[in-house]
């Protein structure tokens, strides 16, 4: 689970998006990416495909 507020996804540009916390205690309910070690959803897309050019999105589920 990512942080509820967007952050910079890379040091090299100003793109803002979903980022993972550094630890389990940084943001309640958010967890670091332990599988890939990614810092952001953008980084997950780049790990999966080095030439990806689309948006860096996540599924959203509404409960209720």
pTM above 0.85, yes or no: no
Residue labelled with tokens 């793109």: 15
Is the pLDDT assigned to residue 60 strictly greater than 80? no
Residue 62 pLDDT: 45
CA distances in angstroms from 21 to 10, 56, 63, 64, listed in the order given = 14, 17, 23, 27
Contacts of 7 (CB under 8 A, 6+ apart): 16, 17, 19, 40
Is the pLDDT assigned to residue 15 strictly greater than 50? yes
Confidence of residue 56 (pLDDT cuts 50, 70, 90): confident
């Amino acid at each position: 689970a990512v942080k509820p507020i967007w952050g910079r996804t890379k040091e090299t540009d100003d793109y803002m998006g979903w980022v993972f916390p550094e630890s389990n205690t940084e943001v309640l309910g958010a967890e670091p990416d332990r599988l890939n070690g990614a810092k952001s959803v953008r980084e997950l897309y780049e790990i999966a495909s080095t030439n990806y050019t689309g948006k860096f999105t996540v599924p959203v589920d509404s409960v209720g």
